[in-house]
Amino acid sequence: MVRVFGVNAPMPSQTVEAVVQPAHYAQELKQQARAHRAHALLFSAGTVTDPLEEYVALAVVAGVLAKHGAIVVTNEEARTSRPADTPIAGRHPGDSLALLRALPLLVLYCGLVKYGVEGTEGVWMRTYGVHRLGMPDLAALMAGHHQGQHYFTMFQNIYAYLRQTGAKFAAGHTANIGNDFIRLREPAEAEYFLQSPGGLFVVERVRVQ
């Protein structure tokens, strides 16, 4: 069950910017999202035990709203957003539920944000909202923005493995992910910007095969 609460007013601009700015879609659509004049809040009120299924239900309803003028669906906690008509609510052929269940977690259900930190060389990239799916957030210090796709794929593979196996990570664990050999560690005290309500591990590439 999904409850819908319509608001005839825009969302707070700070909230909008947090979910729109890091998203990967056209700037024109981002400007439309920033200029919105009304929004709807969606709440999961069912008894489903798998949080992914709750997200799928919310996405289906968001897709229905897309047929009535909604342009962007957002996930505030995950700091991400997505065009409301993809890939949901009959806009695409095939089984839309299967598409939503196969949607990469870091596209909408969880978020992935890149940012620079003063005094640090490189670019940090970290996830948000993964704790809602019972897994830890991940972060990595990249050499530059050009490595973003590599780490996106790496994080996706890690989460797919955790969901499929039910395995749990701990600081000091190592793993082979694709061509990388990685080690996990907890954030250092100075890395205060990596706080997460469900815990977070920093991914360090120990060796590239």
What is the pLDDT at residue 20?
93
- 127 closest CA partner among 173, 78, 162, 161: 78
CA distance 194 to 188: 9
| Dihedral pair phi/psi, residue 72, rounded to 5° | -140, 140
CA distance 135 to 85: 28
What is the pLDDT at residue 133?
92
The reported pTM is 0.87
In which band, very low, low, confident or very high, does the pLDDT at 89 lie, cut at 50, 70 and 90?
A: very low
Please determine, for residue 185, whether its predicted confidence score (pLDDT) is greater than 80: yes
| DSSP letter assigned to residue 87 | S
